[in-house]
Structure 1
Amino acid sequence: MDEETGTGRPKGGPNRLISEVSPYLLQHAYNPVDWYAWGDDAFAEARRKDRMVFLSIGYATCHWCHVMERESFGDPEVARVMNEHFIAIKVDREERPDLDQIYMAASQILTGSGGWPLNIILTPERKPFFAMTYIPRESRFGSPGIIDVLTGIATMWRDDREKLLASAQAVSRSLDTRPERGRSPQRTMLDAGFQDLLLRYDRVRGGFGPAPKFPLPHNLLFLLRYYRLKEEPKALDMVEKTLRSMALGGIRDQVGFGFHRYSTDADWLVPHFEKMLYDQALLVLAYSEAFQATGDRFFERVARETLDFVDREMTSTEGAFYSGQDADTAGEEGGYYLWTRAELGELLDPDTFRIATAAWHVTTPGNFLDPVTGERTGKNILHSTRTPDQIAARLKMTPEELDSVLSAARATLAGARRERGAPMTDDKILTDWNGLMIAACARASRVFSEPRYADRAGAASGFLLDRLQAGDGSLLHRYRNGQAGIAGQASDYAFLIFGLCELFMARSNTRDLSAACDLARIFDDRFRDSRHGGYFTTPAGQDDVIARRIDLYDGAIPSPNSVAFTSLLTLSHLTGDTVYEKRASDIGRLYSGPLSRSPAAYTFFLAGLGSVYGPSGEVVIVEGEGDGSGREMAAALNRRYLPFIVLIQKTPENREELSRLAPFTAVMDAPAGTSRAYACIRHTCLRPVTTAEELLDEVERR
C-alpha cells in the first residue's frame, strides 16, 4: 500500500487507465488517483465500500482539463483524499457523449452552468447530487480548493447522507424527462429564429452575444436559408460579417489555417486554442454556402484552406479524420501559435517582415496577455483587422502581390513552428464527427467542382463502413490503434446518414445512398421513440445510463434530432419514400414547445425547417452516353445557392441500382446520346430540359 495515495500499486506506477484506448484517459494513467473507467466494476466497488463516486469528464484537447490533471489529480494529497472517500471514474466525453449529456444536464440543474472538466459526485446508483467544473487544488480568493470541497462532501456523506440522497433523487427525476409532442412548427418559427438572432447579433464584430464567442456555424446556415427564402438582406449581412471577422481574427490560425474552438473575447482575437474536427466541418459548410450565396471568392478560399488543414494534419493514412488538436504545447496554452516581433524579424527578410507585421498586427508589446498576471508578454496572436484588399491598398500593393508575400511568410513561419513541437493530435476516429466532415467535403466538392474533396469523403466513408460497422449493420462509435468499440449512438447514425446523402449527391455512387437507407432503418429500429417520435441518444437495451434522453438542443455541435430531421427530408426527396418525411414530421412536433421559448437554440433544425416551407424538390439529371451536357447542368446547379434542392444524377453506370433505391427515377430517360433534366419543385413536376440555362431558369424562379 502506498501511504501517500492510499493505493495498492507501487508509487509512480500506472493505474487502471493504462489499459484504455482513449488518449484522454491515458493522460491520467499515471495519476496517483485510483481511477476506474466507466463500467459496472466501479459502481460495484462503490456499493461494496459504501462510497460516493467522483465522476470526472473531459477530453484530450481541453486546456483546463490539463491544468486540473497537473494541479490536482497528479497531486498525492488530493489523490489520498479521493482514494479514501470516493471511487474515482474518468470519462472521455467524446467517447461517451451520452454520459456527458446526462451529467452536463445535471450540472445545469445543480449549479446553473457547466463546462469541462466536468466533475460530478454520484451515489453508487449513478445519481448526481453535486457538480463543479475546474476547481484549484488550494483555496483562492475566498473560493474553496478541491481538498476542502471533497473533505466537506465526505463529512456530509457520513453525517447528513439523507439530504444528499434526496437531492440525488430529485435531480435524477428531472433528468428523466422527454420533450412533449406538440403541433408541427409553423412558418412563423423561421421569422422568430431570425429575430432572435438579430437581437443577439454583434453589429460591430459579427457573431452572436458577448464573450466568449463560439463560431456556431448552424446559426449561419439557417440565416443563409432564411435569406434565400425571404430575400432578407440583414440575414446575409450577419453571415458575411461573422464569417469575415472569424476568418481574419485570431480564432483562425493565420499560418496553418483551421479554426480554434472559440474566442475568449468579443473581437475574435484571443482563442481557446484547441482545434476540433466538428468545427472545421461545420465551418466548411458555412463558408461554402456563403460563397454560393454571394460569389465572394474570399469565402471559397477560406473553405479550401480549412480543408487543406484537415487533409494535412487531421487525416489518417487510411483516409478517416482525427478528432482534434490540443490547445497546449509543453504545458503552455497556445504557445505553438504565438510570435514575438523579434522572432519574425529573425525569420523573414526585411520587406516580408514589414508587410507581414503590418498585415498581421505584430507589435513589440504583443497582444497576448499572461493568463495569471494579465500583463502583456510580447507575444502576438496573428490576425488582421482589414480585408486583404484593404491591406494591399494601404501597403500600396496589388492583392496578388500581398498574397504572394504572405504565402511565403506563412511557409517560413510554418517551418519554424514545426521546430517547437506540434500540439498533440487526438487521433481517435469518431463516427459522428467523421460523418460531419464527410458532408463538408462532399458539399465542397459540388460547390467548387473539385472531385478530390469527394474522394476524401469517399475514403472516410469507406473506412467507417469497413471498420466501424458491426456484422449486423449497426455502427460503433470510436476507432483507435486498430480497435473499434463503444456502441454507436444517435449522433453516429444521424451524422453519417447526413454525410452519405451529401456524398451520393457529389459522386452519384448508389452505394452511398444504399448505405444511408440501411443505416436509417437501423436508426429507426434501435433509437426511435415509437410513441412520441424523435430519437433517443442511446440505443434500446443500453443499461448503464440513469436516463434515456431525447436531445434537441443545437449547441457547439447540432443535435442528432436536428440533423436527422434534415437528413430524413433529404432521403425522402432522394428516394421518393414518404416514410422518411413522416419520421421527420414526427421529430418536428417535438420542437414546437422549445422553439416557442428560444428559437435561436435550435438553428440547425430551423435550417432544415426552411426546406419544408421553401421551394424544395429534386432535380434528376439523366446523363446520356458520351454527352457532357448532363455534367454541365449539374455543375451549373451546384454553383448556385439552392439549399432546398437535392440533386440526383442518373448515369449509364448507376441507372439499374438507382431505379431500385429511387423507383420514381425509373421512367425518367433521355434520347440516346443526349442528357435531360427533370425538376420537381413543391410537389409539382416541371417540363424536362436539356441545357443548363433552361434548368436554372426553371428552378430559380420557383
Structure 2
Amino acid sequence: MEIHKDDDQYNRLKLEKSPYLIQHARNPVGWYPWSDEAFLAAQRKNIPIFLSIGYSTCHWCHVMAHECFEDEEIADDMNRAFISIKVDREERPDIDSTYMTVCQMMTGSGGWPLSIIMTPEKKPFFAATYIPKESSFGRIGMRELIPMIERLWREEPGRIERITEEVEKALQKYSLTHKGEANVDEDLLEKAFKVLSSSFDEEKGGFSGAPKFPTPSHLLFLMRYWKRKGEVRALEMVEKTLSSMRHGGIYDQLGFGFHRYSTDAEWLVPHFEKMLYDQAFLMLAYSEAYQITAREEYRRTALEILRYVERSLTAPEGGFFSAEDADSEGEEGRFYLWTHSEIETVLDQEEIAICQKIFGIEPDGNFVDEVHRMKNGRNILYLRIPFDEYARSMRRTEGEVSKTLDRILTKLYSARDERIHPHLDDKVLTDWNGLMVAALARAAQIFGESAFLSAAERACAFLLQKMRGKGGELLHRYREGESAITGFLSDYTFLIWGLLELYEATFDEQYLETAFQLNEHLFNHFWDKENGGYFMTSHDGEKVLIRTKELYDGALPSGNSVALLNLLRMHFLTGRQELRERADELIEAFAPQVARDPAAYTSFLCSVDFNIGPGAQIVIVGERGREDSEEMLRALRRSYLPNKVLIFKSIHGDQVLLQRIVPFIKEHKPVDGKATCYICSNFSCAQPTTNSIRMLETLKEIGI
C-alpha cells in the first residue's frame, strides 16, 4: 500500500478520519490503523505488533509521540521490530477496554497512552502506559525495550506463549458474569453512602486526594440518597463539591466549561483538556442540585456550560465535537495561564487589584508547578473569594460588582481569544452526544430555558439523520461527512436516555417511538441470553479477544447502568412486563459484582434507587400552552422527583402514536374540562386531581 500526497511523506494513517490518527500521519513510524492488513503483515513477517492506544487531546500521548514516534532512530527500530498499529480509544472503545484490562492485570495500573506488544493473533505479552525514549526512574525506555523484545521474540517463544496463555485465561475469567443471590437493596445504597462519606474531603469536597476527579455519578447518587433517607450529609457533600469545583481552577472562569480533572486536591491546577462528556454529566449534576436547593450559582453554572458547548464544541451540522486539547504552542495549559505582566497589558490598576483579590492573581504565580515543584510565574484564574463576599467586604452592591467583573472578564477573554487555541477534536460520537442531549433536555425541563431545548433537539435530529445505518442500527463516529464504525452499547443506551428526556421536555411521541425501536435493536444484538446483561459490542461486531460487559461507572456511566434506568423508565411508561423482567435479569447478572464494591457503581445505584421505589407514573391530560396545564408542568419540573415518568395526553386529537406506545392512557380524560393529573404508584392509582398543590401533596404522601 503506497501513500502519496505532494512531496510530503505520510504513513497509512493519512487516509483515516480520526484526528488522533491523523496527528501521527507524518511520523517516521510506519503506522497502520487497526486492520486485517496490519495483522496479515505481522504474520507474513513473523514479527510482533506494537499497539499504541490514545486520543487526540491526551497530553502524555503528545509527550510520547514527540519523544519516541517522531524520533528517526526510535522509528527505525520500531519499523524493524514491529508492525505498529495506532488506535483512537474514543473511536474504538472496545479495543481500548480489552487491552486496558490487560494492562491493569499485568502491571496493576493503566492510563493513556496505552502501549501493548502482542502476537499477530492479537494476544498480548507486554503492557505499559507512557514509555520514554530513554530508561529513567525505573521506567524502561523504548531504546532499551525494543531490542529486549526482539531477543524475547527470537529466543524465547515458549515464554511468550506461556504469558499469552495466562493473560487469555485471566481475560476469560474477567469477562464472565454469573447470576448471583446478592441483595441489591437499600442496605447496598447505605453501604455506598458510607464509603463515599468516609472518603469525602471535608475541606475541599470530592472523594480523593490528588489527582481529583469530578465524579458526577457520585453526586447524582448522593442526591437520590438524600431524597430517600433525608440524610443531610449526603446533600452537604454534593454542595461542597459542586461549589469547590465551580470556584476552582478546574473550571474555566473566562470561557466556561470544566477541565478534565485536578492534578491537586484543591481543584486549583487542572489537567487542561475539556471533554464533551464532562460538560454533559456535570451540567446534569448542577441542574439537579439547583432543583433541590434553588441556588443561583448552580443555575448559572449550567447556563455557562451551555454557552461554552455552543461556542466551542457545536458542529455546524448540529452535533457536538468531542474535546479540546490541554496543550497549545507545545505546552500544557498555555492558552489558559496568565503572567502578571500579561494581565497588566489588558487591565488598568483598579481592575488588577480586583483580579488579585477575587481571582487570586499573584506577581510570582499562584500555583506550584508539579514537575519543578516551584512557582513558575503563571496564574490560574480561580475564585479566591465569591462575588457576594467581595461585594460585602467592599461595601458595594452585588450589581455594582457584577458590572465591574463583567468588564474585567470581557477584556481578559478577548485578549485570550487572540492566542493560539488548543487543538479541537472535531469528531462527533453518538454516545457522548446522546449524553449531552439527555443533560440538555433535563436542564430545559428544570430551568425552562429554550436554549437548552433547542440545542438538544438540534443535536438529536443530527444523530437520527446521520448516525443510523440502513437497517436502523446506530453508527459510532461522524467526521467530515462520513458516518462509520458499528455502534457500541453506550451509543444505544445514551441516545435512548436522551430520547426519553426529550420526550418529557417536549411530549413529542416520535422521540418515544424511536427510543423503543432502538431499545428493541439493542436487546436483539447485545443481550447476553445466557447470563443476562448487555455486551459492549454487537453479536455481529468484531470480537477483540473477548466480548466484555462493562459496569464500572467512571468519568462516564457504564452502558449497563444507563440501560437499567432506561428499561425501568420504559416499563413505567408502558406497563410492559417484559421490560421489567429484563431489568430484573440485568440486576441479577451484576448483583455479586456490585455488592462487593457498591461505591464503584454509583450510576448503577441511581438505577437501583429507581427500582427499589417508590416510583410514580404521572399522566397529565390537558392542552399545551393553556395555563392550567403549564402550571402543573412547572410544579412538577420545579420539584426534585428522580423516580418518576411523565406523560402528557393532549385533549385535542386522537394521539394514535402515543396510544399505540402507551395503550392505557386511552381512558384518561380531563375532569370538568380542566387539566387533570393522574398518579399511579406501586400497583395503585390516586384520585385524579385538577389542583397542582394537591398533585404535589399526593406525590409526597406516596413517598415520591
TM-score of the pair, normalised by structure 1: 0.97
Matches within 5 A, 1:259-338: 259-338=258-337
Cα distance in structure 2, aligned partners of 1:491 and 1:39: 23
Partner of 1:241: 240
Q: CA deviation at 1:370?
A: 4.2
Cα distance in structure 2, aligned partners of 1:400 and 1:127: 64
Cα distance in structure 2, aligned partners of 1:383 and 1:26: 35
Q: Which moved more, 1:635-644 or 1:337-346?
A: 337-346
Instruction: Check if 1:113 corresponds to 2:112.
Output: no
Q: Which moved more, 1:605-614 or 1:510-519?
A: 605-614
SS at match of 2:257: coil
Q: Return the match for 2:171 from 160, 168, 175.
A: 175
Cα distance in structure 2, aligned partners of 1:203 and 1:654: 56
Partner of 2:99: 103
Q: Return the match for 1:82 from 73, 78, 84.
A: 78
Summarize the Cα distance change of 1:41–1:366 in structure 2 as closer, same or farther, 3 Å threshold: same
SS at match of 2:647: strand
What RMSD, in angstroms, separates the aligned Cα atoms of the two structures? 1.8
Are the aligned partners of 1:616 and 1:645 in contact in 2 as well (CA < 8 Å)?
yes
Unmatched tracts of structure 2, length 5 or more = none
Summarize the Cα distance change of 1:442–1:626 in structure 2 as closer, same or farther, 3 Å threshold: closer
Cα distance in structure 2, aligned partners of 1:165 and 1:418: 55
Cα distance in structure 1, aligned partners of 2:288 and 2:457: 21
Q: Which moved more, 1:216-225 or 1:381-390?
A: 381-390
Are the aligned partners of 2:624 and 2:630 in contact in 1 as well (CA < 8 Å)?
no
One-letter code aligned to 1:414: Y
Summarize the Cα distance change of 1:517–1:9 in structure 2 as closer, same or farther, 3 Å threshold: closer
* Aligned pairs, number: 698
Are the aligned partners of 1:17 and 1:28 in contact in 2 as well (CA < 8 Å)?
yes
Q: CA deviation at 1:555?
A: 1.4
Summarize the Cα distance change of 1:159–1:693 in structure 2 as closer, same or farther, 3 Å threshold: same
Q: CA deviation at 1:615?
A: 2.4
One-letter code aligned to 1:20: E
Partner of 1:658: 658
Partner of 1:163: 159
Unmatched tracts of structure 1, length 5 or more = none
Cα distance in structure 1, aligned partners of 2:555 and 2:284: 15
Instruction: Check if 1:63 corresponds to 2:66.
Output: no
Instruction: Check if 1:589 corresponds to 2:588.
Output: yes
Percent of counterpart pairs with the same letter?
A: 46
SS at match of 1:646: strand
CA deviation map 1:1-27 (0-9, x unaligned): 99xxxx999995000000000000000
CA deviation map 1:217-253 (0-9, x unaligned): 0000000000000000010000000000000001000
CA deviation map 1:283-310 (0-9, x unaligned): 0010000011111111111111111111
Cα distance in structure 1, aligned partners of 2:140 and 2:525: 45
Q: CA deviation at 1:626?
A: 6.5
Partner of 1:699: 699
Cα distance in structure 2, aligned partners of 1:13 and 1:422: 27
Are the aligned partners of 2:357 and 2:384 in contact in 1 as well (CA < 8 Å)?
no
Cα distance in structure 2, aligned partners of 1:653 and 1:234: 48
Instruction: Check if 1:496 corresponds to 2:495.
Output: yes
Cα distance in structure 2, aligned partners of 1:654 and 1:253: 49
Cα distance in structure 2, aligned partners of 1:457 and 1:501: 12
Summarize the Cα distance change of 1:526–1:244 in structure 2 as closer, same or farther, 3 Å threshold: same
Q: CA deviation at 1:351?
A: 2.6
Cα distance in structure 1, aligned partners of 2:265 and 2:273: 18
Are the aligned partners of 1:54 and 1:89 in contact in 2 as well (CA < 8 Å)?
yes
SS at match of 2:374: coil
Partner of 1:53: 49
Q: Which moved more, 1:252-261 or 1:688-697?
A: 688-697
One-letter code aligned to 2:224: R
Q: Which moved more, 1:589-598 or 1:370-379?
A: 370-379
Are the aligned partners of 1:529 and 1:535 in contact in 2 as well (CA < 8 Å)?
yes
Summarize the Cα distance change of 1:509–1:8 in structure 2 as closer, same or farther, 3 Å threshold: closer
CA deviation map 1:582-626 (0-9, x unaligned): 111111112221222211100000011111223211111111376
Instruction: Check if 1:21 corresponds to 2:20.
Output: no
Cα distance in structure 2, aligned partners of 1:576 and 1:614: 15
Cα distance in structure 1, aligned partners of 2:40 and 2:167: 22
Cα distance in structure 1, aligned partners of 2:4 and 2:171: 37
TM-score of the pair, normalised by structure 2: 0.96
Partner of 2:599: 600
Summarize the Cα distance change of 1:17–1:66 in structure 2 as closer, same or farther, 3 Å threshold: same
Are the aligned partners of 2:184 and 2:595 in contact in 1 as well (CA < 8 Å)?
no
SS at match of 1:539: coil
Matches within 5 A, 1:447-486: 447-486=446-485
Q: CA deviation at 1:437?
A: 0.1
One-letter code aligned to 2:471: D
Q: Which moved more, 1:309-318 or 1:143-152?
A: 143-152
One-letter code aligned to 2:111: G
Summarize the Cα distance change of 1:16–1:260 in structure 2 as closer, same or farther, 3 Å threshold: same
Cα distance in structure 2, aligned partners of 1:653 and 1:180: 49
Partner of 1:685: 685
CA deviation map 1:315-341 (0-9, x unaligned): 111221110101001111001000122
Q: CA deviation at 1:682?
A: 2.8
Cα distance in structure 2, aligned partners of 1:477 and 1:436: 13
Cα distance in structure 2, aligned partners of 1:473 and 1:612: 30
